[in-house]
Structure 1
Amino acid sequence: MSRADAIAVLLVLAACEQKMRDQPRLDPLEEAPFFADDMEARRLPPGVVPRGQARLDRHLWEGRAADDQFVVTYPFALDRADLARGQQRFDIHCTPCHGRLGDGDGIAVRRGYPAPPGFTTARLRDASPGYLFDVVSHGRATMPDYDHIDVFDRWRIVAWVQVLQLSQHAPAAVLSADDRMHLVEAWR
C-alpha cells in the first residue's frame, strides 16, 4: 500500500466516526423553549391515529354492532383456556367488590364500599355480552372503568361472569339426565 493510499484510508476512517451521542436532543418531558408552550412532549395532531390504535372493529373494541346496539355474541371463539384466563382476571380485578361468585359481597364492600348489584339479578342475567363488556370498559355508578385491561381479557372476564351466572341459575333443561339426577339426590 502506498503512502497516499494509507493517508486516504486514515482520512476515510476518521470521517466515519459517528457523533450521534453528541447531537443535541431533549429528554422526555424536558422544557423545550423552541415550542410556544415550552413542552418537549408534543400532542398528536387532530385526526392522527397512533400505530396499532385504529380500533376499527366495533364488535371487539366497543361491544356494539353497526346499528349501535350491544352485541349478543363474542368477537372471537372462546375455549377453556379463555375461560381460565377470564376467571384469573376476574379474581384479580373484580372480586374485591363483586366477590368470588359475583354476589356483590367482596372485601371492599365489607369494608364500606357501596355494594354493586349481584350478577345473578334477573336484569344482569339477561344482559348481553356487549352490555357487560361496556360496563367493564367504561364503568357504571361507583364502578371505575377498566379499559386499561387488555381488550381480549375484558371479553374473557365477561365470559367468566356469564359462567358464574349460569352456574347459579342454570335451567334444568340444559343439564344432562345424570346431572339432573345428581341434583335430585343432593336435595334429598
Structure 2
Amino acid sequence: MSRADAVALLLALAACEQEMRDQARLDPLEPAAFFADDMEARTLPAGVVPRGQARLDRHLWEGRAADGLFVGTYPFTITRADLARGEQRYAIHCTPCHGRLGAGDGVAVRRGYPAPIAFTAARLQGVPVGHLFDVVTHGRATMPDYDHIDVHDRWRIVAWVQVLQLSQHAPAAVLGADDRAHLVEADR
C-alpha cells in the first residue's frame, strides 16, 4: 500500500458517519408519540429491580423506622439457621477484637489494638437492634464499618450479639425448669 493510498484510506475512515452516536433518541421525560401514553419513560416490567432504588426498606438497610428512629425488631424472622450463620459470621469478622464471648478481649486487643466495649456493658443492655445494626454497618470509634458484609448477615451477627448478651446476663425467669434447677444446685 502506497503512502497516498494510506492517506486516502484514513481520510475515508475519518469521514464515516457515527450513526450510533448521532441516531435519533429521546431525552428523559420527553413526550414520545410512538407510545400510546405519549410518555418516553416506561414502567419497569414485573420482577425488575430498579437501578438505584433497591434500598427503599429503611428497616432492612438502615435499621431505622420511617420516622428515623432505630428499630427494636428484626426485618425478617430469625431462625436457628440464622443464628448459626450469625455465629459463624461473628467468629470471622468480630472475634479478633470483641472476643468469642463479646468481652472485648480478642486477639487484636491482646496485641495492642484498643479494646472495644464489652457487649455486657450496662449502656449496651437493651439498646434497639437497629442501633447495633447501625454500628456494625457504619462502625464506631476505632471499629471500622462492615457494610461490605451482606445485609442479612449483618442482621444475623446482631442476633448473635444479642444471644451473647443474654447468655451472660439472662434473668432466671427466662430459663426452663431444668436450667433453673441446675442453677439452684450450682449455688449449693
**1:185 counterpart = 2:185:** yes
For each residue in 1:56-108, what CA deviation from the matched residue of structure 2 results, as whole angstroms up to 9, or x when unmatched? 00000000000100000000001000000000000000000000000000000
Q: Which amino acid aligns with 1:137?
A: T
1:183 Cα deviation (Å)?
1.1
- Aligned ranges 1:51-66 → 2 under 5 Å: 51=51, 54-66=54-66
1:184 Cα deviation (Å)?
1.3
* Number of the residue aligned with 2:98: 98
Distance 1:120 1:52, change over 3 A: same
* Number of the residue aligned with 1:142: 142
1:186 Cα deviation (Å)?
1.9
* Number of the residue aligned with 1:88: 88
For each residue in 1:16-56, what CA deviation from the matched residue of structure 2 results, as whole angstroms up to 9, or x when unmatched? xxxxxxxxxxxxxxxxxxxxxxxxxxxxxxxxx97376200
Distance 1:50 1:140, change over 3 A: farther
Q: Which amino acid aligns with 1:185?
A: E
For each residue in 1:130-175, what CA deviation from the matched residue of structure 2 results, as whole angstroms up to 9, or x when unmatched? 0000000000000000000000000000000000000000011111
In the superposition, the TM-score normalised over structure 2's length comes to 0.72
Quote the sequence identity (%). 82
* Number of the residue aligned with 2:69: 69
In the superposition, the TM-score normalised over structure 1's length comes to 0.72
Q: Which amino acid aligns with 2:92?
A: I
- Aligned ranges 1:1-150 → 2 under 5 Å: 51=51, 54-150=54-150
The separation in 2 between residues aligned to 1:53 and 1:178, in whole angstroms, is 50
- Which runs of 5 or more structure 2 residues have no equivalent in the other structure? 1-48
The separation in 2 between residues aligned to 1:176 and 1:81, in whole angstroms, is 22
Root mean square deviation of aligned Cα:
1.4
The separation in 2 between residues aligned to 1:135 and 1:103, in whole angstroms, is 17
The separation in 1 between residues aligned to 2:120 and 2:177, in whole angstroms, is 25
1:187 Cα deviation (Å)?
2.7
* Number of the residue aligned with 2:163: 163
- Which runs of 5 or more structure 1 residues have no equivalent in the other structure? 1-48
